[in-house]
Structure 1
Amino acid sequence: MKKLFTKAAVVAAAVCLMVTAPLMAQAKDNLSGTLEIFSWWAGDEGPALEALIKQFNEQYPDVTVENAAVTGGSGINARAVLKTRMLGGNPPNSFQVHAGQELIGTWVKSDRMEDLTWLFEEQGWMDAFPSDLINLIGTDKGIWSVPVNVHRSNVIWFVPANLEKWGVTVPADWNEFLAIAPKLQAKGIVPLALATNWTVNHLWESVALASMGPDKWDALWRGELAWTSPEVIQAWELFGKVLQYTNADASSLSWQQATDMVVDGRAAFNVMGDWAAGYMNTTLKLAPGTGFGWAASPGTDGIFMFLADSFGLPVGVENRDTSVAWLKLVGSREGSDIFNPLKGSISPRLDTDLSLYNAYSKSAAGDWGKNRIVGSLAHGVTANEGFMSDFASVMEMYLKSRNAEQAAKACNAIAVKNGIAKK
């Protein structure tokens, strides 16, 4: 389990900073050299990152920025490439990572990331970001990344005009979905569009959250609820019922193609993170509220399952000053408000200018401020990379067997293996 980043730790880190300040190079106005930004934001997710890089280039025209994006939804391919580079002693200047255990349980644990407490203190970020978010990206030994956004995982997307045409409404829970799904199928409509395998994991967490509720969901990750409990088995059983109403060609589609199925009327719904809003608004030029609609995924109204993208500073990077300058832009209000309106996400800062955001983002920001907040499994908040990788294998097994009890037992085994549950 991650430990909370305490005020005492901030003081200790500040003392350490005074002693080691000469070793901590600050970004200079006359920076030059190369800055390599490693991420999985390519294609339809690229415009937001490109806008941030453009702003950096305007501030530091003598720096050559290399946009080293590796395609692949949710960073599956990028993480594999990053692992090779980090272990090979060739880290990028800064890399995108899901805030939480994806970074802490992997690269912080192996002492390959710099503590950024001094940067948070210098930039006033201890007050600019919510304390709960700082706790998530920190341990009792430091703060390890700079958040650039907040995404919501548990969102169901639809086209309002299509639902009206088909005579259906957005299901409030999964039982309602299961009741209307056969009616949609009878019209030749796919009830729920699904894509490649990571999107199956993404769907599972929304179904499991609805089935178990937020308290028991959180208890799973604290090791207080057994993965073999009836609640977990029931979640797998409900998930199996939902899968009956998805498209047979899911494994061959990207998440954008699954979204396209909803947009062009081949499918009624899609459960996806709110990067889908960025895709539909920025790429497809659809207006939020009319061109596309949204709601909390069935059974999760009042709950915000979140993830946050962030950038860290690997130990031993070349041109360290350029990396620090990049992190300063990423964490700034200016950078946040350049990036997030295009990405479909909301700013993690408390002082964001909501007038720059569209109707969806304003809605999400409102929910972020009042909903119950829980972490995403599929996007690295609640579990380390080892568990995430093993869970993907469990899902592959489940998709073949559809055996809920077997899947629950397998999850228990990988939870023990990866330090999430006790033997």
Structure 2
Amino acid sequence: MHVKKLGLLVLLGLILLVAAACGNNNGTDNTNAEEPANNAGAENEAGADEAETEAEENNTADEAENNTNEEASGDREELEIFSWWTGAGEEAGLLALIDAFEEEHPDVEVVNAAVAGGAGTNAQAVLASRMQGNDPPGTFQIHGGAALNTGWVAADRMEPVTDIYEEEEWMDKFPEDLIDLVTTDGEIYSVPMNIHRSNVTFYNTAIFEEHGLEAPSTFDEFYEVADQLQEAGVVPLALGDRESWTSLHLFETVMLGSLGADGYNDLWTGDLAFDSPEFEEALDHFDRMLEYINEDHAARNWQDAAQMVAEGDAAMNIMGDWAAGYFATDLGLEPNTDFGWAPTPNTEGLFMVVTDNFGLPQGVDNPETVKDFLRFIGTTEAQDTFNPLKGSIPARVDADPDAYNEYGQSTIEDFQEADSLTPSLAHNSAAPAGFVSQADQAVNIFVSSRNKEQLIQSLQQAQDDNIE
């Protein structure tokens, strides 16, 4: 999984403008500034200022609660953990993780500094402000790949944690490709908490059984199934792109299915152009798939779209396997009983990776305590506590499959047997943040305009601007 490194940094002001602009479908390029843009590929409707206000309000409430518990906590050292895990199974996983860590480290009190917002855009805006102000959290959630390497590592804001891997003998406990995703110039900069599969089609089993359908494995099969569902008055494909990253997420799975792993990866090295016939064929598939989505897609977020499938208002939803966590943990649905799944069209044997990581920012007050937390999340105990609730699978190869439901066990097996692992574009692992920002804007304009030539030109310009 190759990700081109860029040593470009971006100013805080442009980061905040880009984060806000992505949510309003008028993003700007951010590659010529001085602080990393960590666009998570999602909408920030209210902009970074509102995100900071929301975070301040949350922190005020947390501070009041902490003051109430001050006497009980005594002299416990505080460790701030910054993330965007605030719902849909992820909060349950995070809270269980915090409880397990505090039980193992009773002298440490964890401050949960989670900031709400789809796929982390609000959180990234607040994080950028804090990092620029030399006020880093103890540790923060970051996607492996470009978000980490061409962002905060390139900006010289992270400490390497290679020594932890050596001390804990982890080099054979995580997949080599995964370690490569969090490595720059021979140094490892984060610990993977999990692995998500991005290229999954979830479907309502009752609807498929009622209409005598099987999960589509190719584009042609998808169109046949979607046509039958549409004729029967069922919405074939649920999309919720009120948060703009979901359209880009759908498109990246189409690109992977149409181009294959090598062609898909060639887009992020510049070896395949966006004005090529190969990419145009992928765009044709995306354009056709949009014929089957719900009319109110722009008013829904990803959870709303997943809920449409859960409640039988739509048949399919293409999403990462955090949707499986939402189905099982939040909605109480049974895998292979209430919902089914399959790789997205033409991606059998391919596994698109989204991995959540934590690292050690430079300048924190308690680096040894942060390292204790990083050591903890790299254990099988921590990974098998968090991931079954989140819907993800463990990053460690020796975790216990029996801790996972049928969906999790199936995904662990697919990961181990995958012909190829590829990084996610929408979640900032495949390409630099500047490209993701421009692509996010261009794809969401296309969903409304369906102007293929305009999208091709926009993506080609983004490639020229951001990928060497």
Amino acid at match of 2:390: K
Matches within 5 A, 1:281-320: 281-320=328-367
Provide the residue aligned with 2:384 in structure 1.
337
After superposition, the Cα gap between the structure-2 partners of 1:275 and 1:360, relative to the gap in structure 1 and judged at 3 Å, is same
C-alpha distance in 2 between matches for 1:158 and 1:31: 50
CA deviations on 1:296-341 (whole Å, 9 max, x unpaired) are 0111111111111100111001222221111111111111111111
1:163 aligns with 2:208: yes
- TM-score if structure 1 supplies the norm length? 0.90
1:180 to 213, 221, 225: 225
Aligned to 2:375: 328
| Deviations 1:156-194, CA, capped at 9 Å, x for gaps | 001222211123221222222223323322332111000
- Residue 362 of structure 1 aligns to a residue in which SS? helix
The answer on whether the counterparts of 1:233 and 1:405 sit within 8 Å (CA) in structure 2 is no
Q: Which runs of 5+ in 2 are unaligned?
A: 6-73
TM superposition shift of 1:98: 0.6
Question: Which of 36, 52, 57 lines up with 2:97 in the alignment?
Answer: 52
Partner in structure 2 of residue 42 of structure 1: 86
> Of 401, 411, 416, which aligns to 2:449?
401
Greater shift, 173-182 or 135-144, is seen at: 173-182
Q: Is the 8 A contact 2:4 2:269 kept in 1?
A: no
Query: What secondary structure is seen at the aligned counterpart in 1 of 2:210?
Result: helix
Q: How many residues align?
A: 395
Give distance in 2, aligned partners of 1:166 and 1:49. Answer: 39
- The within-5 A match list for 1:2-401 is 2=3, 32-44=76-88, 45-196=90-241, 197-371=244-418, 372-401=420-449
Contact 2:248 2:444 in 1 (8 A): no
Separation in structure 2 between the aligned mates of residue 313 and residue 32 of structure 1, nearest angstrom? 20
Q: 1:31 offset after TM fit, Å? A: 9.2
Runs of 5+ in structure 1 lacking a partner?
5-29
What amino acid sits opposite 2:448 in the alignment? K
Deviation of 1:141 (Å) = 4.3
The alignment status of 1:416 with 2:464, answered yes or no, reads: yes
CA distance in 2, matches of 1:416, 1:31: 54
Structure 1 position 214, deviation (Å): 1.5
Per-residue deviation, 1:89: 1.3
Deviations 1:99-122 (A, max 9, x none): 111111111111001111111111
**SS class of match (1:69):** coil
Cα distance in structure 2, aligned partners of 1:265 and 1:166: 13
Rounded to whole Å, the distance in 2 between the matches of 1:3 and 1:409 is: 21
In the TM superposition, structure 1's runs of 4+ consecutive aligned residues that sit over 3 Å from their partners are 1-4
Q: Tell me the distance in 2 between the aligned counterparts of 1:386 and 1:57.
A: 38
The residue matched to 1:181 in structure 2 has which SS?
helix
Please identify, of 31-40 and 42-51, the stretch whose mean Cα deviation from structure 2 is larger: 31-40
Distance 1:231 1:361 in 2: 34
Is the 8 Å Cα contact of residues 3 and 139 (structure 1) preserved in structure 2?
A: no
Alignment partners' CA distance in 2, 1:339 and 1:31? 27
Report the alpha carbon displacement of residue 198 of structure 1 after superposing the two structures with TM. Answer: 1.0
**Distance in structure 2 (CA, Å) of the matches to 1:385 and 1:107:** 11
Encode CA deviations 1:212-253: one digit per residue, 9 max, x unaligned.
122211211222111211111221121111111111211221
Q: 1:127 to 1:31 in 2, by over 3 A?
A: farther
